[in-house]
Chains A and B, each alone.
Chain A
Amino acid sequence: DQQVKQNSPSLSVQEGRISILNCDYTNSMFDYFLWYKKYPAEGPTFLISISSIKDKNEDGRFTVFLNKSAKHLSLHIVPSQPGDSAVYFCAASAPGGGNKLTFGTGTQLKVEL
């Protein structure tokens, strides 16, 4: 039962343009959402998060949007840079589980020159 889904396994974007990564979830108990970035042979690195009481959170080039009614969130990166090329994981947590996260399967972003 995949409670967090990232339906695009890969995305290719030109440098300077916007990257939009999408994530859908099915568990209505999730109330905290995060994006992690992962390079090969390294652990996931936290990027940005959003609580369910908000619909947008911005940090520099990264913005996360949450649409609770659609159970959908997205990560916008603008402008995209070659160093952003990595696998991006969407994750969510629910009350009662501590900080336990449920991850999506990831989207491989490639930013081309």
Chain B
Amino acid sequence: NAGVMQNPRHLVRRRGQEARLRCSPMKGHSHVYWYRQLPEEGLKFMVYLQKENIIDESGMPKERFSAEFPKEGPSILRIQQVVRGDSAAYFCASSPGYRDNSPLHFGNGTRLTVT
């Protein structure tokens, strides 16, 4: 997991608050993927971004969730008005190119708890 940095590692929010999760990809990687793992489940794809572009957001809930990957700085996954069902582990992964059949490298995740 070396190289992909996610922060915070743990985040506690009350219902209705906003959560911001950050991901810095590995050096030289310009493609970022966000996944969510609900308790006792596998990882579910949420969104795929390249610098300043959303490539695929087919896994994102239609409301309250947004993601960005600006020209400078980390990728941000933003959840507005959090609900208890948003409690999960959120993982970010990066790759150097569009499709090079190289494995995705994951960070250690942010564990979001909504109280």
Interface positions of A (Cβ within 8 A of B): 6, 32, 34, 36, 41-46, 49, 51, 89, 93, 95, 97-106
Tell me, rounded to whole Å, the shortest Cβ–Cβ distance linking B39 to chain A: 12
Residues in B neighbouring A102, C-beta threshold 8 A: 45
CB neighbours (8 Å) of B45 from chain A are 100-103
Please determine whether B106 and A45 come into contact, CB atoms closer than 8 angstroms.
Answer: yes
A101 contacts which chain B residues (CB < 8 A)? 33, 43, 45, 104
Of B41, B42, B91, B102, the residue contacting A99 (CB under 8 A) is B102
Partner of A98, one of B55, B105, B107, B111: B55
Q: Roughly how many angstroms separate A45 CA and B35 CA in the complex, as a whole number?
A: 14
A-chain residues with CB within 8 Å of residue B111 when the two chains form the complex: 41
B22 at the interface (CB under 8 A from A): no
Q: What's the least CB distance linking B3 to chain A, in Å?
A: 11
Contacts of A43 in B (CB 8 A): 1, 4, 6, 91, 93, 106-109
Are B48 and A100 touching (Cβ within 8 A)? yes
Kindly list chain B residues whose C-beta atoms are within 8 Å of the C-beta of A100: 33, 45, 48, 56
A32 touching B101, Cβ below 8 Å: yes
